[in-house]
Structure 1
Amino acid sequence: MAERRTVLSASLLGLAAAAPAAAQTEAKPLAGKAALVTGAARGIGRATAVELARQGAAVALLDIADPDAIPELRGYRLASRAELEEAARLVRAEGARALPLVADVRDWEAMRRATERAARELGGGRLDVVVANAGIAIDGKLARYEPAPWRAMLDVNLTGALNTVQAALPGLRRPGGRIILVTSVQARTGSVASGAYATTKWGMTGLMKSLAAELGPEGITVNAVAPTGVDTPMVGRASEGRGKAHPCTVHSGHALPVDLLEPAEIATAIAFLAGPGAGFVSGTTLDVNAGKSAQLSA
């Protein structure tokens, strides 16, 4: 009888020891994965890198990291090297590996080198998740839009997204690779004051759907997340309390009582599409727009 109690006690101890391990695995759904996030120095990109790290992924944080790289920008600056390093520090604070990479998404060859390094150093030659988030916004009416900012918007937002995907594809895991494009609520509507931005985001939706159809047979999912207005430097929000009025009108028409969302709220949606619960979700846009979808056509 004593021997039986000893065996039973040992079994119970084994179960107790296994329970925290199982809980830890459950809490880290991206453990062992390698991810690449563009535009990762701040805003949605930084929040996404941190959330993927929190869920267990090693993260390559790619950013142009040069405030003066695009002279056509008006009203806000691009991220700096210091901001990229701070984003990498926040990823490491989650206990994850971080690899900051300085590259311009407009430069295909630079993106090829960066993605190869990310796959080699973080994933043993493979990437599991690619988040094409880098983007810029230059306001202006389309009827009078100047050629230089138009080209800049296309080059960063649309061509940059394609460059990111093309560069990462050779090392993307098959099956099981995940590609997520960050579009916008303006990929669902027209815009009076930022029509060029809306045009590029509509183009990204077409890019996402075409890639989903093309890459599906290889076991790769491709989706988009379309945020409403988010409290980032691009929006140019003053340091007010959350939910207060703001001159940006992209978020008008929310059903939920909120003005701008926080970057972390977009990051959790991106992480869902990168995680095990979205293995058979592809070719779709996940709207994170505080209920503005209620005003859009089905």
Structure 2
Amino acid sequence: MSSGNSFQTHDNARRDFLRNSLIVGTVVSSSGMANTSAEGREATTNGVLAGRVALVTGAARGIGRAISEAYVREGAAVAMVDLADPDAVPPVDGYRTANMQEFDEAVAAAVRFGGRVLKIQADVRIPDEMGTAVERAMSEFGGLDIVVANAGCVRWHSFAEGTELDWKSVFDVNVHGVFNSFKAAIPALRQRGTGRLIAISSIGGRQGVPGNGAYTSTKWAVIGLTKQAALELGPDNITVNSIAPGPTDTPMYRSQGQIRSMGVTTSEDQDRIIGPMLPLGDLSVLEPKAIADAAVFLASEAASSISGISLDVARGYNASYTA
């Protein structure tokens, strides 16, 4: 099967399975509870990702939540994965990872677009948990086509002052988490005969960012991991790409640690500094939907010949890069 028509010649039997077994608006949670809604049938069956199955990590907030919503809106069945346990990753400088209430709210928001959503609590740092997450998605939805490795964390420090804990904790989530998410899915995608792997990097992975040593290093690593995987998985008709968002209105970006790292004291100050650096738009930071739109494109048939890239979504900020 050529990469150019891989999704166009989607397994009709599995597409029928998804459509025929679909209870529109059903949320299947980790506890097995379900809620239903009759809304969204048209979006579920007619979107550019209709009949496909996606797994998105870090899905409780920000970019991961926006991608999950966009995928459901475009017709995919989506396994939303999040740790949803702030105590498992030590909070720092006003930033914590998502909690279960936020995860539940994200799932409820996604299901309003119609389709089917599977809520999975899992830790991307643990390979067995990601393996189980993939198995659950396949069992519930009949296969797997798309994985978005979005889960991330941050600790703010200078290169010289960063501790071993700073570096290890960020690398465990931002790099090992991507590796674990991708590796768990590869057998399923090979069985399928095609697939999409998408990692979320950052414009911090395209340049140096003073005061953000571990995070910036991980985002460079994610781009390298993406290129390596693209070379090795290309013969399996699996595309592997990353997205490098610019400043985006997420809990991480609006945290006190990020604000202080920019030498300011308020989110308004952030916008005042960053706005003039973004050639496109209204001088405000990006909304998560902008990154979600890019993730829809990379998962779609339109991107079947694109692999190994880092797609900058930064309102033109990247125009100042040297290459």
**TM-score bucket of the superposed structures, by smaller chain:** 0.7 to 0.9
Q: Which amino acid aligns with 1:288?
A: V
Q: Which residue of 2 aligns with 1:176?
A: 194
Question: Offset of 1:111 from its aligned partner?
Answer: 0.9
The answer to whether the aligner puts 1:33 opposite 2:52 as a matched pair is yes
Aligned length: 270
- Provide the C-alpha distance between the structure 2 equivalents of 1:97 and 1:145, rounded to a whole number of angstroms: 43
Q: Which residue in the other structure is 2:80 paired with?
A: 61
Structure 1 segments of 4+ aligned residues over 6 angstroms from their partners: 23-26, 247-252
Question: Which structure's CA Rg is the greater one?
Answer: 1
With over 3 angstroms needed to count, the CA separation of the structure-2 counterparts of 1:258 and 1:176, relative to structure 1, is farther
**Structure 1 pair 224/237, CA: closer, same or farther in 2 (3 Å)?**
same
Does 2:135 align with 1:110?
no
Asked whether 1:229 is paired with 2:250, we answer no
Shift in Å, 1:62: 0.3
Whether 1:166 and 2:183 are equivalent positions in the alignment is yes
Q: Cα distance 1:144–1:250, how it changes in 2: closer, same or farther (>3 A)?
A: farther
Match of 2:62 in 1: 43
Give the Cα separation in 1 of the matches to 2:284 and 2:155. Answer: 21
Aligned CA RMSD, in angstroms, stands at 2.1
Distance 1:192 1:248 in 2: 19
- Change over 3 Å in CA distance of 1:167–1:24 after alignment to 2: closer
Letter in 1 for 2:270: H
Q: 1:92-131 maps to which residues of 2 (within 5 A)?
A: 92-122=111-141, 124=142, 126-131=143-148
Contact 1:36-1:61 at 8 Å conserved across structures: yes
Aligned to 2:320: 295
Query: Where does residue 306 of structure 2 map in the other structure?
Result: 281
CA 1:99–1:25 in 2, change beyond 3 Å: closer, same or farther? closer
Q: Could you tell me the TM-score, scaled by structure 1's length? A: 0.86
Aligned: 1:254 with 2:278: yes
Which amino acid letter does the alignment assign opposite residue 254 of structure 1? Answer: L
CA–CA separation in structure 1 for the residues paired with 2:45 and 2:116:
19
Deviations 1:45-97 (A, max 9, x none): 00000000000000000000011111253321111111111111122111110
- Contact 1:54 / 1:94 at 8 angstroms: preserved in 2? yes
Q: 2:110 aligns to what?
A: 91
Distance of 1:218 and 1:235 partners within structure 2: 36
Counterpart-to-counterpart distance in 2, 1:250 and 1:151: 29
Query: Which residue identity is paired with 1:277?
Result: A
Q: Deviations over 1:115-167 (max 9, x none)?
A: 11111112x1x210000000011111011101111100010000010000011
Q: C-alpha separation between the residues in 2 aligned to 1:236 and 1:62? A: 23
Q: Is the 8 A contact 1:228 1:251 kept in 2?
A: no
Equivalence for 1:190: 208
Structure 1 Cα separation of the partners of residues 79 and 171 of structure 2: 24
1:86 and 1:248, CA in 2 relative to 1: closer, same or farther beyond 3 A?
farther
2-structure distance, mates of 1:190, 1:53: 35
Q: How far 1:217 sits from its partner (Å)?
A: 0.1
- Higher RCO (CA-CA < 8 Å; seq separation 6+): 2
Matching residue's letter, 1:246: Q
The residue number in structure 1 matching 2:21 is none
Query: Using the alignment, how far apart are the partners of 1:39 and 1:169 within structure 2?
Result: 19
Structure 1 residue aligned with 2:33:
none
Per the TM alignment, residue 259 of structure 1 is displaced from its structure 2 partner at its CA by: 2.8
Q: Return the alpha-carbon distance in structure 1 between the equivalents of residues 298 and 284 of structure 2.
A: 25
Q: SS of the residue aligned with 2:315? A: coil
Aligned mates of 1:277, 1:66 — CA distance in 2:
36
Taking the aligned partners of 1:184 and 1:105, their CA distance within structure 2 comes to 18
- Cα 1:134–1:160 change in 2 (3 A) is same
With structure 2 as the length reference, what TM-score do the two structures score?
0.79
Corresponding residue for residue 78 of structure 1: 97
What's the counterpart of residue 264 of structure 2? none
Distance in 2 of aligned mates of 1:132 and 1:252: 30
Paired letter, 2:209: S
**Hey, what's the Cα distance between the residues in 2 that align with 1:62 and 1:252?**
35
